[in-house]
Structure 1
Amino acid sequence: MTSIERTAYPRFKRLITAHELHLFFSPTREEAAWAAERMDADGHQLALLLALKSYQRMGRFPKPDEYPEMVVDFVRRAVELPEGTTALWATGRTAERQRTEVRRRVGATYDQARARRIAEESVRKEAAAKNRPADLINIALEKVVEAGLELPAFSTFDAMASKIRGEVNASICTGIHDRMSAVERAELLRLLEERDGDGTTLYNRLKKPAQGPTWSHFKNLTRRLEWVDGLGDTSVWMDGVASGKITDFAGEADAADASELRDFTPVRRIALIACMAHKARMRVRDDLATMFCKRIATKIKKAKAELEEIRLAEREIVEALIGTTAPCSSTSTRAALPRSPWRRPRP
């Protein structure tokens, strides 16, 4: 069962601030007069006002035990009912008549069959791409609210999302299974049985992450890519499957070991391993590109350092040559130099 806290299903918060109480649960004078006209007893008036304000806030009628004491006490004091007044909740036809009065006042439509139909259509459509039940429930809630309909119970949404999600996932797994050849299916199942050099199954080889960017690791990663590619063309297997579904199925396969996967039905087992292989092919290619870039970056960094060393050495040589061949600047030194015999005397 999906936790209601993980969804957007409207409910009372555990902690309601004074600002929220005044903003959402404070009855107007018109609403207080409306409740007084329809109910004689103070307890019934309080219950009707609680149902009205809750419906305005949440689009549904909470159960009597859902109302926080602070909300009940705030509404009672807001309409100046006597201290100690408790909400008297009607049952049966009387309760239904009161709910009809509330719906009429807020302009809501009560059509549970239509609300369930809208929710089911939206869940079935989105289940082809999304896998988390909470996400499916939130989408169904949004569509029902947009239609201006009263929300069904949370259990209705939860059961619907679980059922449709299972049907859609089974259909996706069957499609992946049927797009594979018998040889390819046998090759994937072999991963759960055969052992690698370290004693683990070949299936665990699909999970191994890339190591440091060394030349030996690069060669090992290249061989792993060849091995994964040899399992089959996973892009054909995943034709028409949403990337989110592939990621979720691969994550489910990654969280399980070989012995746990053997407990799955054959179709689902093969589909999960196929998604794992598809993600492994993508990851190995990404790791190869990343490792290649890191290796090139290391070479470039080393080359730049060597080039700087050469530049500094050349600079020292040039400076030494300049120091030994520069013309003398003092007059005495120039006078001491021998006169060239080919130089004409000044007039």
Structure 2
Amino acid sequence: MGCFPVLEKVPEQVVEFVRRQVELPEGTLPLYRAERTAKHHRGLVRKKVGVKYDQGEAREIAERSIRKEVSAKNRPADLINIALEGRGGLELPGFSTFGKMASKIRTEVNASIREGIHDWMSPVQRAGLPRLLEERESDGTTLFTRLKKPAKGPTWSHFRNLAKRLQWVDGLGDTSVWMESVATGKITDFAREADASEPRDYALVKQVALIAKARMRVRDDLATMFCKRVAMKIKKAVKELWGEIRLAEREIVEALIGNYCTALKNIDADGPSQEALQKAAAMTA
């Protein structure tokens, strides 16, 4: 764990194992009679495992590690794991310390990102975003919900509708400029947070992230749908071509058999009949 847990939270399996190893009576609790004993014990453990106790330095290292990665990562769990990995032989602070630190740094960086997006957008563009939460479709859903709708089957009507949706999404603004300096993983996390929250809780960053992901998704869907349509056309064309080839081959075989029949009649009047040859041609085809 990298740090000493609260004794009351030590798992019972660990307590039982230690009891058996040192042959203590059943029911012995993991408690110290004096703080002096606890301090001495912790010093022996640190020496044994090779760690140093310096909470100030440990916090500085953790903060540097988080600030180095927070521009690309957004989930608190990821930031805490980064802080845990960069401890450098030091005893770790309590888990709650990392949680508060990650939350504080994340809030600072995300506020900076929000300000950057705000500055890139024009007043008209900023004013247009709230309308996506106010205007509703015929089924009562907001236009932001429309952004998250998946693509339908690869029909031409769906393809045309998807192309119209692309024009509509692009008309909302150039998110690639607004979020030019924001990492892709960060944008994905912002959009995921928006998916998990109520529309009224969409902050500016979440709104722009949803639009950015929608623009990427519609382009991907258009490309995928186009490839599927082309594949269907190719499959149909191959089937038709194969039928035409078989028909042409049958006509050639029938013509050859007819010529062969004529030649046989001229050579041997008692040779195979025309009807027999035609049946053979049909079987060959």
- TM-score, normalised on structure 2? 0.85
Residue 313 of structure 1 corresponds to which residue in structure 2? 247
CA distance in structure 1 between the aligned counterparts of 2:100 and 2:91, rounded to whole angstroms: 18
2:124 corresponds to 1:183: yes
1:259-287 deviation digits (Å, cap 9, x = unpaired): x23xx6xxxx2221111111111111111
Q: For residue 165 of structure 2, what is the amino acid of its counterpart?
A: R
SS at match of 1:249: helix
Contact 1:133/1:161 (8 A) holds in 2: yes
2:11 corresponds to 1:68: yes
Contact 2:7/2:31 (8 A) holds in 1: no
1:49-69 deviation digits (Å, cap 9, x = unpaired): xxxxxxxxxx32222223334
Residue 217 of structure 1 corresponds to which residue in structure 2? 158
1:80 deviates by 4.2
Residue 65 of structure 2 corresponds to which residue in structure 1? 122
1:151-185 deviation digits (Å, cap 9, x = unpaired): 11111112222222222222222221221111111
What is the aligned-residue RMSD (CA, Å)?
2.5
1:204 deviates by 2.4
Query: Which residue, out of 147, 150, 168, partners 1:227?
Result: 168
Residue 245 of structure 1 corresponds to which residue in structure 2? 186
1:256 deviates by 3.8
CA distance in structure 2 between the aligned counterparts of 1:108 and 1:241, rounded to whole angstroms: 37
CA distance in structure 1 between the aligned counterparts of 2:28 and 2:205, rounded to whole angstroms: 61
CA distance in structure 2 between the aligned counterparts of 1:104 and 1:199, rounded to whole angstroms: 65
* Percentage of identical aligned residues: 60
Matches within 5 A, 1:121-160: 121-144=64-87, 147-160=88-101
SS at match of 1:192: helix
SS at match of 2:227: helix
1:288 deviates by 0.9
Residue 91 of structure 1 corresponds to which residue in structure 2? 34
Structure 1 runs, 4 residues or longer, greater than 6 Å off: 327-330
Query: Which residue, out of 226, 231, 237, partners 1:303?
Result: 237
SS at match of 2:133: coil
1:101 deviates by 3.2
Larger radius of gyration: 1
Contact 1:120/1:160 (8 A) holds in 2: yes
2:219 corresponds to 1:285: yes
- TM-score, normalised on structure 1? 0.71
1:212-237 deviation digits (Å, cap 9, x = unpaired): 11111111111111111111111100
Q: How many pairs align?
A: 270
CA distance in structure 2 between the aligned counterparts of 1:137 and 1:292, rounded to whole angstroms: 43
Q: Which runs of 5+ in 1 are unaligned?
A: 1-9, 11-58, 338-347
Distance 1:154 1:215, change over 3 A: same
CA distance in structure 1 between the aligned counterparts of 2:128 and 2:30, rounded to whole angstroms: 67
Residue 334 of structure 1 corresponds to which residue in structure 2? 267
